[in-house]
Amino acid sequence: MSSTTAPLAGRAALTAKDVAAAAPLPDVMQPKTRRKGAIGYMLRHPTIAIGGFLLLIIFAIAIFAPFLWTKDPTALAPVMRTRNPSAAAWFGTDMLGRDVYSRVLYGTRVSLMVGFGVAFFASVIGLAIGLVSGFVRWADSIIMRIMDGLMSIPSILLAIALMALTRGSVGNVILAITIAEIPRVSRLVRGVVLSLREQPYVDAAIASGTSTPVIIWRHILPNTLAPMTVQATYICAAAMLIEAGLSFIGAGTPPIIPSWGNIMAEGRALWQVKPYIVFFPAIFLSITVLAVNLLGDGLRDSLDPRAAKRV
């Protein structure tokens, strides 16, 4: 191969006339600029913004229910039975003359309590079980068989079976749904633990004698936090739906407590003539669950992009 070093004519010799400039190329598309900061984030994750906003309002309703022109949600008024919505009773009254508006607003408290209560307890207990399962070999197969068994009982049925034994109370409803939801969390945590144990840096930490609590604190918890948060929002949404379902069929909170499921259960007999009794709690329940689900989807997209691809 011959030397190909071009005999440079020298810069001076290259006059503008000699230079063959390439023709400029047209633009096929224009670049778009992306908004930065909080507003940009909200625009890219609209579900977090919408879900969070709705949930904020719902929390405000729950907290300030007594101040939002409500009456005593349990006060009976036999003369005022099954009145249609009017200026006096915005959402009408039920069969016993109770104010549906007040009952629906107070019902927010029950739903949030059940939703967030179950999400919290199921996460904590599920985390503990998942950790034991992931770290203690001999316990793993036993625990996972139990979890498989629990998961093959549809959660509403499991909650129904548990509720049939106990007296209806908000606490028992939370307990029953929590038991039904624990397997989901513990499987998730176990999965994370098992996959992390394969990682060289965790393996090295174990081999060098780092104690299990330290490994959990340094490696496992930080990695479970994101998927668990996402899971918790879905459990929260599921718990609210299950609570409403349980109350609706008469196996949930005691009828005296104004929960959305109870209000709908009471309106059930009259739904063909007085649909509003069912309608208003239904709207509130749907919007609340929607808000939590939107938040969950948004969190999943932004915290856990890999999982977002899967579902």
The number of residues in the chain equals: 311
| Nearest Cα to Cα of residue 180 among 155, 200, 157 | 155
Residue 310 binds other proteins, judged by CB under 8 A:
yes
CB of 240 to other proteins, least distance (A): 9
Residue 164 binds other proteins, judged by CB under 8 A:
yes
| Single-letter amino acid code for the residue at 105 | L
CB of 254 to other proteins, least distance (A): 13
Residue 280 binds other proteins, judged by CB under 8 A:
no
Residue 269 binds other proteins, judged by CB under 8 A:
no
| Contact assessment for residue 133 and residue 143, using Cβ atoms and an 8 Å cutoff | yes
- Look at residue 27 and give its three-state secondary structure: coil
Out of 110, 282, 299, 300, point to the residue binding other proteins (CB under 8 A).
Answer: 282
Tokens of 5: 């070093």
Residue 12 binds other proteins, judged by CB under 8 A:
no
Residue 43 binds other proteins, judged by CB under 8 A:
no
Q: For other proteins, which is the closer residue by CB, 199 or 286?
A: 286
Rounded CA separation 188/186 (Å): 5
Q: CB atoms < 10 A from the CB of 253, how many?
A: 27
Out of 128, 132, 156, 194, point to the residue binding other proteins (CB under 8 A).
Answer: 156
| Contact assessment for residue 122 and residue 185, using Cβ atoms and an 8 Å cutoff | yes
Residue 162 to residues 94, 186, 264: CA-CA distances in angstroms? 29, 20, 22
Residue 189 binds other proteins, judged by CB under 8 A:
no
CB of 31 to other proteins, least distance (A): 5
Out of 23, 38, 79, 207, point to the residue binding other proteins (CB under 8 A).
Answer: 23
